[in-house]
Structure 1
Amino acid sequence: MTDAPPPNDAGPAPRPDRAGDTADAAKPTRPAGLAPQRAPWEPPPANPRPTTDPRPTTDPRPTTDPWPTTDPWPTTDPLPAQDTPRPPSTPNVTDPPPLPTRTVTGPACVAPPDAPPRPAMGPVLPPEPVDHVGSGPPTYEAEPTALPPADPDELDDLVADTVLDGARYGCCTLRAASMRGDSARFRGEPRRDSLLTARFGVGEHALVLVAMATGARATPGAHRAAAEACHWIGRAVGRSHARLAEDIRAGRRGDLKSGLHRLTDRSLGKLRASATEQGVDPEEYAATLRCLLLPADPECRTRVFFGVGAGGLFRLRDGEWQDIEPRAVDSPGEPVVGFGALPSETPEGDRLTMDLGIPTPPSPYEPALEPPREPFRFRASVARPGDTLLMCTGGLAEPLRGEPELCQYLTGRWSGPTAPGLAAFLADTQVRVKGYADDRTAAAIWEA
């Protein structure tokens, strides 16, 4: 009987379908995966060839990835069960080696509840735009509904629902907008506010004018009167822009005040003359007027405001709104009255005429007294870097003074280092407040 070949024999394995292999096929075989038996004192073979794959069929490591790709630390829920650390146990040969610890950083990483808070990343963003502020939504719809009636022979008389403009000169950025109020949009009435932005001159000697006017309420030609008021003051300032720009750079406050007072009187006087030519009552064909002069010289930060009538002048400085609307009296003893009229009494209280309390008929040799008019308002101020100056008509000035939430909203929107774009500025100025439905016209200046 021949000996069986050694376990490491490299010869071919016997095949039972060949003759002479029947005896070899009947021999018992070792179970697969077991090494050949040897004596305890025999050394192991030098290079034993494994009969099967020595790697285990199952991975002894946990099936859950210790470094998951998703966020393992939600903000509210506790840690997942697979990430909960196991209690300490007695190490044995079957336990895998401890895994290294790594720190995951990036925008998707959220700190665990017991970790210290991380510092804020990046600048604070302004609040999102809103449709309205206050106690509730306004009564009217937010978008225009009815168009004003049109005359086929007077199409130039039509007024757009909204106008928008902007510019940048020197160290200031201008944004201006005028829009119909909710009430006018609902009733199909034209916009009574008018806006004019114009530049006179070139280079550093140029002068930028922003003029806005509001026609009388409940009058058919209110929008025409407002447009004429802006055009008249625009012509007057444009013809005198060189002298005005020089006075602004030189700081001649007295010359500016008296000169602009005369230009305003002439412009509104021509408006009253136009009403007389049309056969309309001058009190009905009237308008308020508010103007702002901005020199294009980057070395000059003087901003000049002047006008007649209701509205508002505000300044956003260091995160707080300041109402800087000039008063009817600039200083004690200097009453500011419009159109060259004399005061009724002196600062000491003495009447300029003796009033005996006896009614007298008007003299046929003297013209009838004109009704009292709004005082002329003037203010020249020096801007600081970071300031935001806002001039507006009564449609925006009244809600700013009456609704603190609107001031807070605009503070968050306009306190950034740069001016908003035209679309963003329009969205901010048309934020509605319940109870205020008039036309809105606003011009804001951001100082670099």
Structure 2
Amino acid sequence: MTTWLIVLLALSLVVDAVLTVRLLRLRRTPPPPVSAPVLEPSAQELGDLRAQLAAARQETGAVEEMLRGRNLELARLRALYKETQDAHGTEAESPGREEIAAAQRQVRALQDVVRQVTGERDAARAEAEKARQRLSEAEARGDAPFGPDEVSPAIPRRIPLGRDTTSDSSVDGADLGPVVVRAGSVRGDRSRDEGEHRRDAVLLRFAEELPTPTLLSVVAAGTPHGRWTQSAADRACRNLAAQVARYAEPLGRRLFTTTDSCDDLAPLLRTAFQGVAHSMRLLTRGEGPEGESDDSALGVAVTALLSRLGDSRQRDHVVFGVGDGALMLLRDGAWHSLFTPGTTAAEQGLRMPSAAAHVRCARVTTRPGDLLALCSAPMAELLLRPEAGAWFAGRWAGRQPYLTTFLSEVNVPARVAGGDRSVVCLWDFGDAREARAAAS
């Protein structure tokens, strides 16, 4: 009540002052300056002047009446204010003032909070706008993954358990002058959903024992739900590199020749794979019947590639393996299947170590600008899909992706029936100057 009285008193004072100023202006209006003898006005002019004087007097009376009313109202408000002071005393007003001050402090605090939250909101909007801009630029370049999700790589929801478990993903690579190589292996969506670990392995190794500079690339894909398939895949990759070093002299004589046939290499490769099979069987020695190895716990499809390094307008490769892996070629924006170790369903179902004698091989030639992809079966299936193959071709044609970028692309959200995905990509730029120009 006291607060409202104070407000009304202040408003009355303001109105009183305004009306007083207007009245003084009407009373003190100076006559017009006389610069020449005044002529007698006409009857019309006298009538106009009288009308103006009557209007001014009427307005003056109205203003004086308003001032008298305001003075009466001001007096009434002052009396009410005095009565309120007498009724409640000076002490009674203190709590009201304290409550008003506390409310004002709360309002100021709330205003500070609003300003802070508004600043944070504006900053978040700016960051979101920047992110949208970057996404638009990435989509314009073709960087964004296809499919329903925009996040790549997919994030595992849990770590798998088991004696044979390994990391969810792995990546490797090297820039070897005119030859650029990237290798990646990721756990498939099915394995993640079922809590299974990744069962594939990849390997890149410089075969320094061979007389010609040569790169060995290996992709080993373990069968799902096998007890030791991941360890067997890893051992197959490592031991195959050891077998290449062991038979380096005869391999060096037969590896890169002018003949298109691979018949001279087949016996030597079968011998090397027999050594790989023996190494794999050591994992389950004593677990099979009568203390033998349990091959059913070791099933692995192995595909390998030996590539000649150095500047060359025509590069030679030898691809070999057992199972359902594949060697794909990207040329002129289209994917082509060059080799698979099994031509029939029965041959594609073969697995190491039991199928070591069924090694198949082939010679392949690439020219500058070609890309070879040594794939596990699920990755080969993905590259052969029209939409997915076009997306990978757009991302990999003529480029040298960073390792993290390559892993993200291999792990793009897209379901395949076979689960885990593993691939070794080899870019042939012909000579080192073209390779540097294509870096990304």
Q: How high is the TM-score relative to the length of structure 1? A: 0.55
Distance in 1 (alpha carbons) for counterparts of 2:354 and 2:169 = 34
Residue deviations 1:150-208 (CA, integer Å, cap 9, x gap): 66xxxxx5521111111133521101011111222233322100112111218983322
The unaligned stretches of length 5 or more in structure 1 are: 1-123, 152-156, 340-369
| Match status 1:293 vs 2:300 | no
| Match status 1:149 vs 2:158 | no
Deviation at 1:317, TM superposition (A): 0.7
Q: 1:293 to 1:399 in 2, by over 3 A?
A: same
Query: In the alignment, which residue of structure 2 is the partner of 1:361?
Result: none
The aligned amino acid for 2:305 is: L
Query: In the alignment, which residue of structure 2 is the partner of 1:445?
Result: 426
Distance in 2 (alpha carbons) for counterparts of 1:336 and 1:219 = 18
Residue deviations 1:105-130 (CA, integer Å, cap 9, x gap): xxxxxxxxxxxxxxxxxxx9851231
**Which is richer in helix?**
2
Query: In the alignment, which residue of structure 2 is the partner of 1:73?
Result: none
| Partner secondary structure for residue 228 of structure 1 | helix
Query: In the alignment, which residue of structure 1 is the partner of 2:372?
Result: 389
Deviation at 1:287, TM superposition (A): 1.0
Q: 1:128 aligns with which of 118, 137, 143?
A: 143
Deviation at 1:336, TM superposition (A): 12
Query: In the alignment, which residue of structure 2 is the partner of 1:37?
Result: none
Equivalenced residues, count: 282
The aligned amino acid for 1:438 is: G
Q: 1:321 aligns with which of 332, 335, 346?
A: 335
Q: 1:159 to 1:380 in 2, by over 3 A?
A: same
Deviation at 1:384, TM superposition (A): 0.6
| Match status 1:233 vs 2:240 | yes
- 380-389 or 183-192, which deviates more: 183-192
Distance in 1 (alpha carbons) for counterparts of 2:181 and 2:169 = 17
Contact 1:137 1:434 survives alignment (8 Å):
no
Q: 1:126 to 1:293 in 2, by over 3 A?
A: farther
Distance in 2 (alpha carbons) for counterparts of 1:436 and 1:326 = 18
Deviation at 1:329, TM superposition (A): 6.5
Q: 1:337 to 1:167 in 2, by over 3 A?
A: same
Contact 1:208 1:295 survives alignment (8 Å):
yes
Q: 1:263 to 1:273 in 2, by over 3 A?
A: same
Q: 1:303 to 1:435 in 2, by over 3 A?
A: closer
Q: 1:158 to 1:371 in 2, by over 3 A?
A: closer
Q: 1:338 to 1:435 in 2, by over 3 A?
A: closer
Q: 1:234 to 1:409 in 2, by over 3 A?
A: same
- 435-444 or 170-179, which deviates more: 435-444
Instruction: Give the percent of matched residue pairs that are identical in Structure 1 and Structure 2.
Output: 28
Distance in 2 (alpha carbons) for counterparts of 1:249 and 1:372 = 26
Give the number of the structure whose alpha-carbon radius of gyration is greater: 2
Deviation at 1:371, TM superposition (A): 8.0
Distance in 2 (alpha carbons) for counterparts of 1:128 and 1:258 = 45
Alignment of 1:213-252 (within 5 A): 213-251=220-258
| Partner secondary structure for residue 381 of structure 1 | strand
Query: In the alignment, which residue of structure 1 is the partner of 2:63?
Result: none
The aligned amino acid for 1:439 is: D
Q: 1:325 to 1:446 in 2, by over 3 A?
A: same
Alignment of 1:1-400 (within 5 A): 126-130=141-145, 132-133=146-147, 136=148, 142-149=154-161, 158-201=165-208, 205-251=212-258, 253-272=262-281, 274-279=283-288, 281-299=294-312, 301-326=315-340, 328=342, 375-400=358-383
